[in-house]
Amino acid sequence: MSPTVADEADLLWRWTETVTRAADGPAATEAVTAVGRDLLTRYSEPTRRYHDVRHLTDVLDRIDHLAEFTREIDTVRLAAWFHDAIYDPHRGDNEEASAQLAAGALARCGVDDPTAAEVSRLVLLTAGHAPDAGDPDGAVLCDADLAVLSTAPERYAVYVADVRAEYAHVPDEAFREGRTAILSDLAARDRLFGTDYGRAHWEKRARHNLAAELILLTRPEDLVREPEENRPED
């Protein structure tokens, strides 16, 4: 999904404000702008159907909603910008590659090494979404990333179809096996969300959506079907 001019301007403003506050001294303005535009280009890659600008915006908005649970809100925001900066469905090290990208890009922008290292650590957490109990910033980032699980059924159906589209190169049986393993691991956890807000407001619906999708995984014709809003008119 490519951002509109207004969306891009708003996101670049949010990025610049966040980096400026996080920088160790004056931010490197040209580098900040260049890195921000590069990140938006990455999230707008044509192969992305779910992990796109819309997803980035959703995660940033949810982090703002969960701000009271963080220790360093701007560090969490920076981690959100980088958490899917590299996303190639053919590779299994996207989080590691994104964390490495974050370290170098933030250094160019004037962000100090400890902050950049913390951003990279948070990015790596999104590989498994299992932060420690004493890691509020990790909990907020992971909750914001997983909050899509708690959306209304219609929105959740679009999410499922978009994920399948990103992995269109994977045969149906292999996709069902892989997706079932991921969802079963999530469903078996004592809790999906690490913040009090997530547990109170997102947990129940997320578990309902997970259970429903696990059932649908036995009916592949439903799983891969395009949502109504994405189908061309007759």
pLDDT of residue 17: 95
d(CA 60, CA 80): 6
Mean pLDDT taken over the chain: 92
Does residue 210 surpass a pLDDT of 80? yes
User: Quick one: 127 and 155 in the same domain?
Assistant: no
Count: domains in the chain: 2
Average pLDDT over residues 163-179: 96
In a domain, 195, yes or no: yes
Identify the band that residue 3 occupies on the pLDDT scale cut at 50, 70 and 90.
low
CA angle 154, 159, 162 (to 5 degrees): 125
Each residue's pLDDT tens digit, 154-168: 999 999 999 999 999
Q: Tokens in use for 5?
A: 């001019």
Residue type, 22: A
* Residue in this structure with the two tokens 């909603």, named with its chain if needed: 65
CA neighbor of 30 nearest in space, from 109, 98, 114? 109
Each residue's pLDDT tens digit, 78-96: 999 999 999 999 999 999 9
d(CA 81, CA 141): 11
% of the chain residues with pLDDT over 90: 86
Domain that holds residue 195: 149-230
User: Quick one: 43 and 94 in the same domain?
Assistant: yes
